[in-house]
Structure 1
Amino acid sequence: MDRELVMRFLGTGGAVPSKDRSHPGLLMEFSGTKLLIDCGEGTQRRAMEQGVTIHDVDAVLLTHHHVDHVAGLLPLATTVDLLHGRRLKVYGPTAGSESALDVSDLEVIEYREVSPGDEVEIGDLRVLVYESEHGVPTVDYRIETPKVPGKADPKYIRRVPPSKRREVLLRGERPYSLTKPGKISVYVKGDGRPADPENVRGCQVLVHEACFEDHEEAVRYLHSTHLEAAEVAREAGVDLLVLTHLSTKVDPERMREEAREVFPVVVVAHDGLVVRVRR
Structure 2
Amino acid sequence: MEKITILGSANAVAKSDQQNTHLLFETSSRKILVDCGDHASASLARAGVEIIQVTDLILTHFHADHVGSLPLVIMDMWLEKRTAPLTIYGLEVTIDKAKKLLDLFDWQKWMNMFSVDFVTLEESGLSKLNSDDEFKVTSLPVLHLIPTIGLRFEFTGGRTITYSCDTEPCEALYKLADKADVLLQEAAGPGKGHTSPEQAGEIATRCGVQKLVLIHYEGRRGKQALLSEAQAKFGGKVIVAEDGMVL
Query: TM-score band, normalised by the shorter chain?
Result: 0.7 to 0.9
User: Does residue 1:37 correspond to 2:47, yes or no?
Assistant: no
How do residues 184-199 of structure 1 correspond to structure 2 at under 5 angstroms? 184-195=159-170, 196-199=173-176
User: Does residue 1:103 correspond to 2:60, yes or no?
Assistant: no
User: Does residue 1:134 correspond to 2:159, yes or no?
Assistant: no
What amino acid sits opposite 1:122 in the alignment? S
Of 4, 17, 38, 1:7 maps to 4
Distance 1:51 1:38 in 2: 18
User: Does residue 1:271 correspond to 2:243, yes or no?
Assistant: yes
How do residues 171-182 of structure 1 correspond to structure 2 at under 5 angstroms? none
Displacement after TM superposition at 1:132 (Å): 0.8
Contact kept, 8 Å, 1:130 with 1:139, in 2: the verdict is yes
Of 127, 136, 143, 1:118 maps to 127
2:65 aligns with 68
Moved more, 196-205 or 134-143: 196-205
Per-residue displacement from partner, 1:48-101 (whole Å, max 9, x unpaired)? Answer: 1233334212201111011110112221122223322344311011336xxx99
The alignment-based identity, stated in percent, is 27
User: Does residue 1:258 correspond to 2:229, yes or no?
Assistant: yes
Contact kept, 8 Å, 1:36 with 1:57, in 2: the verdict is yes
Distance 2:99 2:181 in 1: 32
Equivalent residue pairs, number:
228
Per-residue displacement from partner, 1:189-227 (whole Å, max 9, x unpaired)? Answer: 111112532331132111110013xx3xx23xx111111
Distance 2:159 2:203 in 1: 19
Q: CA RMSD in A?
A: 2.1
Per-residue displacement from partner, 1:146-200 (whole Å, max 9, x unpaired)? Answer: 3x3xxxxxxxxxxxxxxxxxxxxxxxxxxxxxxxxxx321111111112532331
SS, match of residue 60 in structure 1: strand
Distance 2:222 2:93 in 1: 32
Of 89, 92, 95, 1:94 maps to 92
What amino acid sits opposite 1:130 in the alignment? L
Contact kept, 8 Å, 2:60 with 2:148, in 1: the verdict is yes
What amino acid sits opposite 1:141 in the alignment? L
1:157 aligns with none
Moved more, 77-86 or 252-261: 77-86
Determine which structure has the larger helix proportion and give its number: 2
1:85 aligns with 83
After superposition, the Cα gap between the structure-2 partners of 1:101 and 1:247, relative to the gap in structure 1 and judged at 3 Å, is: farther
Unaligned 5+ runs, structure 2: 103-107, 109-114
Displacement after TM superposition at 1:249 (Å): 4.6
Query: TM-score scaled to structure 1, two decimals?
Result: 0.75
Per-residue displacement from partner, 1:223-256 (whole Å, max 9, x unpaired)? Answer: 1111111111111111111110113553222111
Displacement after TM superposition at 1:259 (Å): 0.9
Contact kept, 8 Å, 1:127 with 1:141, in 2: the verdict is yes
Of 20, 25, 43, 1:46 maps to 43
After superposition, the Cα gap between the structure-2 partners of 1:253 and 1:54, relative to the gap in structure 1 and judged at 3 Å, is: farther
Distance 2:77 2:117 in 1: 12
Distance 1:86 1:50 in 2: 21
Displacement after TM superposition at 1:112 (Å): 1.1
Query: TM-score scaled to structure 2, two decimals?
Result: 0.84
